[in-house]
Structure 1
Amino acid sequence: MRLVVERGSRRRAAMVGLLVGVATLWLPAQQLPDQESVPQQSEEDPFAVPETGEELGIEQQDEDQQLRAPIDDWRDTLMYGIDSEVITLLETLLEQREDRLHQEIVDLYDSSRNPRLQRRILDFFNEMRWDGAETQALRVLSEPREHPNDLLLSAVRYVSAAVESPAHETLQALHGVADSPQMMLAETAIRAIGLRGGEDDIGPLLNRLNDRRTPSALRAAVVLALGELRAVDAVDELIQISSNTSEDGTVRRYAADSLGKIGDPRAIDTLSALVSSDDTLLRAYAVNGIGHFEGEEVERVLTNALRDSFWRVRVSALQGIARHNMTDAIAAVIFRAERDPEVPVRSQAFETLSALDDRRARTFLQDFVQNERNSEALRISALQKMLEADAAAHAAVIEKLIDAEYDKPQSRILDQIGRILSTSETTVPNRIYDRLLHHPNFVIQIYGVRAAGRHGLSGLRARVSEMAEEPYHQAVRRTARDALERM
């Protein structure tokens, strides 16, 4: 049967061809198609077939797309994108520290019924430290039973991290969440009260602390909150807790930490004794606590703690040394930066040296990051701490590093320099950004363009304008057009 069908199809095809040929013979001469003009169709013919290799309108559409600045695409995604696309976009905006679309994101939050998206939005504002979504967070906190726990947690964490002076209603709502039977919710809310509350919140927290029915996890959160509130009225109770070997270990450690934050001198003797505890974590918290006080005895304790066998104790000591600008301890800090067996300790040593106001510290860091015999990972760690502390102060070293790394393929150090400078709140001389703008790698170019736009560096406008056109990479052109709008 199939052979018959195929034979019949061929017969019909032959018949159609014959009829077309006959019809062509009868066409008037002026209607015969001109062989040379066949590819050239009338521009007004809506059914004209494009030339080979072209698709109608595609080139122009691509060019129009390239002309759009990234922020235009981002706005479109916020307006029309599916939730998963918006969530991906939020990660991009966070990475670039993009803050021009906050109101559009708030509007999207208000119109969305997807708690997962709402949670991601609050997390985004949390990381950006933007307090303009307090109203949205309050709506969640005020009706805890109407929202999933993960959205509630995000709302609490947002207020805790981003809203420096919450409204009275927001604090009251936090107290309500602190009564939740969900332990993690209650703990997080109590800590948020400590960070954002005031004197009026100390009394209720002390009542919780003295209520022996309060679970240990909540007692620990209350102890931390009292420290954040600098609750002098809680000092005697906290001294007793930290010294009580029968007390829960976590609660004791947090009590030592809070005694340091409160800063009442009555706690010094207790903390000094805890530095010798057999509990390694308690020693770390005690060193951190005593690091909030001043005096020769405190400095002696911190310096000796750099020799402790537990790495977290050494980290706490380094933090205390930075807090007090203990330049007399620079030699010991440099020793830890060069030779400590634990990476977190070396990283903290770099950070401490970056914070110390001393030429020896700066010289060590600058020499360390330029020495190619050192581990690349450690060089990057030191570089990050230096530039995050004060990029402008290390401009000369940045230039030397750029010179050394400029022609290396896939240089991680050059990438880190570009990444940090593109998101930093401080500026360096324009010539440094200009080096990034002229680098052959388009990723490095983008870092330079972002920095120029972020800081409105009009002196680089001509170069950025060039990069907004061909033959630069499409991503570079799009970023350049966005930067020009901000310059």
Structure 2
Amino acid sequence: HSQLAGIKRILPKIKKNKYTMVLSDISIKKNRSAANQKSALNILFYLDLTAKMRLYIIVVFYLIVLYIFPCYRSFSLSEEYYIDLLKYGTDLDIVSAFSRINDDLGEKVNKNVLAVFKEKHSEKVYHIIVKYVGTAEIKGAANILLDELVKENLGDNYKEGLINSVGLLKISGSFNILKDIYGQKRTTKRIKLSIINAYGKIGNKSIEETLLKILKNEDEDVDLRARAILNLGELGTNESKDLLKEILLNTYEEKILRMYAASSLSKIGKDSVLETLAAVIDDKSHEVAEYAVNSIAEIGSNQAGDILIDALRSDYDKVRYYAVIGLSKIKYKKATDILKFKAEYDTNETVRNEAKKALDNIKTGTN
């Protein structure tokens, strides 16, 4: 019976030919000996495995050709190639080549990269070059990017790329331009989000005040206010700490704002915000509680470890899960006993498994 079950499973997958048909006939007919049936079945299983291996080889080869080879080729090409490409290549050639570049190609190439903005190309070329400028952090590109940014009728793709690169290069002189674009009626939500992200990367006193203004404006889109919270965390200054605490503890506030407030507080206040984060571990919103536990783990102090131990008694499975992950991350030896209990008796299988891993990890710790 087990042999017949195996045959029924694999026969539909094997390409039918005269050999497989004969083998299947031998393996199924009752008048055949058990040895013959077993031999035929083994061969069929071998054919099934061979077919799968061929498929795997084809898939791997396809991935190499599609992804790995182009990347290898892009790294192996010389500076002269990229210089000539920028001088003589088509727009499609330039877009194709630079879409695969994630590293600085060198000063000589970069000089020619910046010269592209003096020539006439499609917006796709400018977009991919702007992306490269930000990734490679090309010095001397600031004025070019700002000149491009103030041009009229830019597509959102290109404008977003410019703003992202302005942020990556931390161009402080871009603040007034970005603020002006943000305030324009025609500016889309997508562009506003990219501006807020750039603010977080650039970081100065004026930018912090602007982010706080966005956050405090209850008429502003909630996603924009949430993004402002995240970038206040990136700035890492204390001025926003009290406001973020207030948002986190306000159960009537938008859930996403409270979640992001928990995340940013861990970057701003360290131990000084632990009491506030601990207060929402049993919050009615399990998402807020999960973010709080993650933030406590990020702080990673002994006080944080004690709070994570308490979090292991939460009714929320994910809160216990993240508490285990946090204790494992900081290798908090004081948690050994409760983790042993959780590894054996927690009602959630994932928590039990992670508790076992945490115990192994803590054995190597120094805390």
TM range, normalised to the smaller chain? 0.5 to 0.7
Alignment of 1:386-401 (within 5 A): none
Larger Rg: 1
For the pair 1:173 / 2:177, whether they are aligned, the reply is yes
Which of these residues, 290, 293, 299, is aligned with residue 296 of structure 2? 290
- Paired residues of 1:259 and 1:267 also in contact (CA < 8 A): yes
Determine which structure has greater relative contact order: mean sequence separation of CA pairs < 8 Å that are 6+ residues apart, divided by chain length.
1
Alignment of 1:310-389 (within 5 A): 310=318, 314=322, 318=325, 326=331, 328=333, 360=364
Q: Over aligned residues, Cα RMSD in angstroms?
A: 3.8
CA distance in 2, matches of 1:126, 1:330: 44
CA distance in 2, matches of 1:328, 1:133: 51
CA distance in 2, matches of 1:220, 1:78: 41
Alignment of 1:86-485 (within 5 A): 86-94=94-102, 98-100=105-107, 101-143=109-151, 145-160=152-167, 162-164=168-170, 166-167=171-172, 169-180=173-184, 181-263=187-269, 265-293=271-299, 295-302=301-308, 309-310=317-318, 314=322, 318=325, 326=331, 328=333, 360=364
Q: How has the CA–CA distance of structure 1 residues 222 and 150 changed in structure 2, closer, same or farther, with 3 Å as cutoff?
A: same
1:428 matched residue in structure 2 = none
CA distance in 2, matches of 1:199, 1:270: 26
CA distance in 1, matches of 2:324, 2:147: 42
SS of the residue corresponding to residue 253 of structure 2 reads coil
Q: How has the CA–CA distance of structure 1 residues 176 and 296 changed in structure 2, closer, same or farther, with 3 Å as cutoff?
A: same
Q: How many equivalent pairs are there?
A: 271
State the 1:226 CA deviation.
Answer: 2.1
- Paired residues of 2:86 and 2:116 also in contact (CA < 8 A): yes
- Paired residues of 2:271 and 2:303 also in contact (CA < 8 A): no
Q: How has the CA–CA distance of structure 1 residues 133 and 327 changed in structure 2, closer, same or farther, with 3 Å as cutoff?
A: farther
Unaligned runs of 5+ in 1: 1-67, 362-487
- Paired residues of 2:233 and 2:264 also in contact (CA < 8 A): yes
1:453 matched residue in structure 2 = none
1:62 matched residue in structure 2 = none
Deviates more, 1:211-220 or 1:277-286: 277-286
CA distance in 2, matches of 1:232, 1:92: 40
Q: What's the CA shift string for 1:71-109, capped at 9, x where partnerless?
A: 332322121111111111113433x66445222212123
TM-score by length of 1: 0.48
Unaligned runs of 5+ in 2: 1-75, 344-348
Percentage of identical aligned residues: 20
Look up the equivalent residue of 1:84 and give its one-letter code.
L
Q: What's the CA shift string for 1:287-338, capped at 9, x where partnerless?
A: 2322343542302344676897339963x9757865xx54749998xx9xxx
Q: What's the CA shift string for 1:319-359, capped at 9, x where partnerless?
A: 7865xx54749998xx9xxxx969xx99xx99xx9xx9x99
CA distance in 1, matches of 2:92, 2:189: 30
2:28 matched residue in structure 1 = none
Q: How has the CA–CA distance of structure 1 residues 312 and 74 changed in structure 2, closer, same or farther, with 3 Å as cutoff?
A: farther
Look up the equivalent residue of 1:271 and give its one-letter code.
L
TM-score by length of 2: 0.61
State the 1:265 CA deviation.
Answer: 4.7
Q: What's the CA shift string for 1:107-133, capped at 9, x where partnerless?
A: 123324321111111222333344542
1:39 matched residue in structure 2 = none
SS of the residue corresponding to residue 201 of structure 2 reads helix
CA distance in 2, matches of 1:294, 1:201: 29
